Chain A
């Protein structure tokens, strides 16, 4: 996978976040402060325009620039968290011009580690980690078992979706939803939902890509 696939990923992510902006905001209204879709849409819109003008040449540079732009544009908790995720993934890819599946898996593991280090969230806390951690786990497992590219990426995206859905029954222990205590149960975590959208966009872009 070369830089254009990664640019296509980010473009696809921006598109789906734009489409789901109101849905993400509604999820956030239920247990947070009703701005998740609005903030991510603003951030990814800026990322798309920055990527178009800077046209970074390597996959790592695409993701690093995506991350630093999100940090500068999003604000809230999701700006630093998503920004760190993309920056760590970009750094893990180094300056390779072409990335294989194990390389991508290592980058996503680095993203997860960055998010957990910054946000101090564990699985089960009802955060984006609950989509990202099962997704990276399923992805690495599929690769180890010799799955095709398509199957491994499908496993990644499906595990993220399932992980996001599983947050519905969780009580939030981190982030703004934690202030609700038991009343946070019964709602999908907006950060987990947006993570599933972004990883779904990764699957779609890589399968459609050159």
Chain B
């Protein structure tokens, strides 16, 4: 499998060196794998830390900057970072007002962040963790590790980041993070597998005529395989699944996200189908994102994330943000 890398062993650190070179607004500790704002911790502001496996770029490092995250810790490809990284990030962003950990609901991420929060507590840094779990593909949380955290994480980081920037306290920032997660749902669809650099071959095999419905973001297979269908039908299938769990009405924030290997051309095709479906159901897309925000290496496919907005959430979404991957209003 062809990859633009020097070696599978150095792919994450080589990329981090590139991030450092490309974005002077970020301070990148390549060796310890921690990305922070170059401006340093801000006294009195709640710090936002997130992290997760690499391979989902721009998540999370691309969301570090004004109005969003204060730090991100990237793990190895598709592997949760370790507590040492999270603790270093937490220390680095602590401005005395406490630190919010935004954690996607995967066993490894949750366990490592839990350990990091305990270690930070030992150092008298107040940490609150909010776990995102918006993936409706996981139908039965009783018999699984629970719903996975996927696209809503982008919304949570943006909106909680905006509130933190306004100077709100840790409890308020955590509350809005939970609110966004609770009001958001996602579903992902894969047209192809991805290739973990160290493994060198596709994580799963998918016939030319098949797609995988309900995938996560790590190349883990989804719940069912179905024949490939036109974009209109795929949009409807994704929104049917989301709509079974979240009323699709009122003003919505909608992200049509590429999994890494899907052309924008196709994402726009899909977005238009999503728009027509939602309008047909009496909802309005008040805000949107179309592009690659939470990816799965070179996988072809998409995810749709819907958040039911309130006036406050819309205002916080519109607030200025200045990060490598999201930038407006400033």
Contacts and interface: CB of A to CB of B under 8 A. Distances in A.
B219 interface: yes
Nearest to A33: B218
A119 B75 CA distance: 20
A33 B115 contact: no
B138 interface: yes
B196 A119 contact: no
B179 interface: no
Interface stretch (B61-69, B77-85, B286-294, B307-315): B77-85
A77 interface: yes
A162 interface: no
A191 B70 CA distance: 34
B47 interface: no
A71 interface: yes
Given A72-B83, A75-B76, A79-B112, A176 B223 contact: no
B80 A33 contact: no
A209 B81 CA distance: 36
> Which one of B76, B79, B115, B222 has the greatest number of beta carbons of chain A within 10 Å?
B79
Contacts of B39: none
Contacts of A42: 76
Interface in A51-92: 71-81
A150 interface: no
A181 B78 CA distance: 21
Nearest to A78: B108
A175 B145 contact: yes
Q: Is the interface of A mostly helix, strand, loop or mixed?
A: helix
Nearest to A38: B198
B148 interface: yes
Interface in A155-210: 171, 173-176, 178-181, 183
A129 B54 CA distance: 28
Contacts of B76: 35, 38-39, 42, 75
> Which one of A33, A35, A76, A78 has the greatest number of beta carbons of chain B within 10 Å?
A33
A118 interface: yes
Given A35-B76, A75-B80, A179-B216, A80 B221 contact: no
Interface residues of A, number: 33
A168 B138 CA distance: 22
Contact of A75 (B81, B198, B204): B81
A77 B219 contact: no
Contacts of A175: 107, 145
Given A33-B218, A34-B199, A176 B83 contact: no
B105 to A, nearest CB: 11
Given A33-B218, A34-B196, A38-B198, A181 B144 contact: yes
Given A71-B83, A173-B143, A180-B221, 12 more contacts: A31-B220, A33-B220, A35-B78, A35-B199, A71-B82, A72-B84, A75-B80, A76-B108, A80-B114, A118-B111, A173-B144, A179-B220
Interface of B: 53, 75-84, 106-108, 111-112, 114-115, 137-138, 140, 143-145, 148, 196, 198-199, 203-204, 216, 218-223
